[in-house]
Amino acid sequence: MLVKNLLKQTDQLFTLNSNLDKKYESQILLSNLLNKNIIEIILNNELKITEKKKKKFLKKIYFRNLGKPLSKIIGVKEFYSRQFFVNSYTLDPRPESELIVDCVKKLKKIEKNNLKILDLGTGSGCLLISIILEIKRKNIYYVATDKCEKALKVAEKNAKKFGIEKKINLIQSDWFSNIREKFDLIVSNPPYIKKGHIKNLCESVKSFDPYLSLNGGKCGLDAYKIIAKHSKKFLKSKGLVCLEIGFDQKKDVKRIFKMNDFRIIEEFKDLNKKDRVLIFENKI
């Protein structure tokens, strides 16, 4: 069958209301399946697809109609202008999280030698890998942790993709449970959705992102309480904690860290003018 004829069926195949054009989504799915550039998919009128691959394509359309994110179907998602591997064990990278990378790049502490940076709950590794690739420093030691071993496999795959696997020490750890050293900077995009609100999230998130990466407990603040309580043991003097937060959590997160002898040094809003990143300093 010719690919161009299959693409003509797009409107009938798609039942999902998507922000993207249905035909464009079909082209992306086909380019991924056939390992072809999307331009070739569009312009090559003689490009054919086997019956076996057609069935695979229809299966992808089926899952897309169920609400499965395009990224989880094709296995990649863009973050900070780079393509990262993702799967059902990793949270899909969000544009809002790119703000953490921007914030870290601006920190004066980054200019110092022999720094140690810890990424808690790394998932796909997109956050720490982007930081490494952006600041381009050789004298920084990086550690990434995740409770999920299968998520760490994805982070390892991404590190290898960008040729920096030797720069990151990947550790399976429930927050700080397997950490044994002190750091200058801790970064994290922890789970911060209220447990009772997860059922109200869009289908693509609540059914296809890991529950572990979403569930912030009854008030959405469980992870912040853990990080604030235990990070002092793993921070050097005047060490920093850089965190993503929910748009309505700034007051509560600041209170939690103040109770644990941290001081707020920076607050940042995302492109939608919503509170998104807080940076705290260890007073000791």
Residue 6 pLDDT class (50, 70, 90 cuts)? confident
Tell me: pLDDT of 281 over 80.
yes
User: What is the percent of the chain where pLDDT is above 90?
Assistant: 84
pTM exceeds 0.75: yes
Tell me: pLDDT of 141 over 90.
yes
Q: Mean pLDDT, to the nearest integer, of 257-272?
A: 96
The residues near 33 (Cβ < 8 Å, ≥ 6 apart) are 53, 56, 57, 60
Tell me: pLDDT of 150 over 80.
yes
Residue type, 238: K
Per-residue pLDDT tens digits for 21-69: 888 889 999 999 999 999 998 898 789 999 999 999 999 999 999 999 9
The pLDDT value recorded for residue 21 is: 81
**Where do the domains of the chain lie, and which CATH numbers do they carry?**
3-66 (1.10.8), 77-282 (3.40.50.150)
Q: Mean pLDDT, to the nearest integer, of 138-150?
A: 96
The pLDDT value recorded for residue 103 is: 97
Q: Which pair of structure tokens corresponds to residue 9?
A: 């069926």
The pLDDT value recorded for residue 19 is: 66
Tell me: pLDDT of 10 over 70.
yes
Contact 191, 215 (CB under 8 A): yes
Q: What is the mean pLDDT of the chain?
A: 94
Residue 204 pLDDT class (50, 70, 90 cuts)? very high
Residue 240 pLDDT class (50, 70, 90 cuts)? very high
The pLDDT value recorded for residue 45 is: 79
HEC profile of the chain: CEHHHHHHCHHHHCCCCCCCCHHHHHHHHHHHHHCCCHHHHHHCCCCECCHHHHHHHHHHHHHHHCCCCHHHHHCEEEECCEEEECCCCCCCCCHHHHHHHHHHHHCHHHHCCCEEEEEECCCCCHHHHHHHHHHCCCCEEEEEEECCHHHHHHHHHHHHHCCCCCCEEEEECCCCCCCCCCEEEEEECCCCECHHHHHHCCHHHHCCCCHHHHECCCCCCHHHHHHHHHHHHHEEEEEEEEEECCCCCHHHHHHHHHHCCEEEEEEEECCCCCEEEEEEEECC
